[in-house]
Structure 1
């Protein structure tokens, strides 16, 4: 296994991790921004008002994108397992 191959595998793994984190965090950030703007406009300082919508959107995005993310991780793992003989031999 050459360093280039190891870096390619590591790069692809990091990309998949970033993709998974982005799917979970970006919708929550957008909803948090909208709720914060609403709270600033109405001067409501209730902490649960910002927590509950972010929680629901995060769970919804995981339910919707979860199977796709799982397929991405499984495809990467299967390709990695199938490449083991060529990587060590």
Structure 2
């Protein structure tokens, strides 16, 4: 295995992490922004107000996209194991 293959495996791993976490982080960011705007307009500065909406939205996104996330990660894992098995031959 040369350095190019190692770099490609690392690049693919980082891309998988970014692809799988982007929907969850994006939803949390949007909800956080909405709650922050609501807090700014109503002058409610309760710190715990942001926690529950974010938690609900993150769980909903994981519930909706969990199957896709699992299949994507399992496909990547199979590809990675195939690459590892080809190293020895």
Would you call these one fold, judging by a TM-score over 0.5?
yes
CA distance in 2, matches of 1:87, 1:69: 27
Question: Corresponding residue for 1:60?
Answer: 60
May I ask how many residue pairs the two structures share in their alignment? 89
Q: Mark the runs of 5 or more structure 1 residues left unpaired by the alignment.
A: none
The 5 Å alignment of 1:37-48 reads 37-48=37-48
CA distance in 2, matches of 1:50, 1:77: 35
CA offset digits 1:24-76 (Å, max 9, x no partner): 21101110101100110011122232111111001111111111111111101
What is the Cα-based RMSD across aligned positions, in Å?
1.3
CA distance in 2, matches of 1:85, 1:24: 33
Query: What TM-score, normalized to structure 2?
Result: 0.89
CA distance in 1, matches of 2:58, 2:86: 40
The 5 Å alignment of 1:23-42 reads 23-42=23-42
The 5 Å alignment of 1:9-28 reads 9-28=9-28
Question: Corresponding residue for 1:79?
Answer: 79
Give the C-alpha shift of residue 81 in structure 1: 1.5
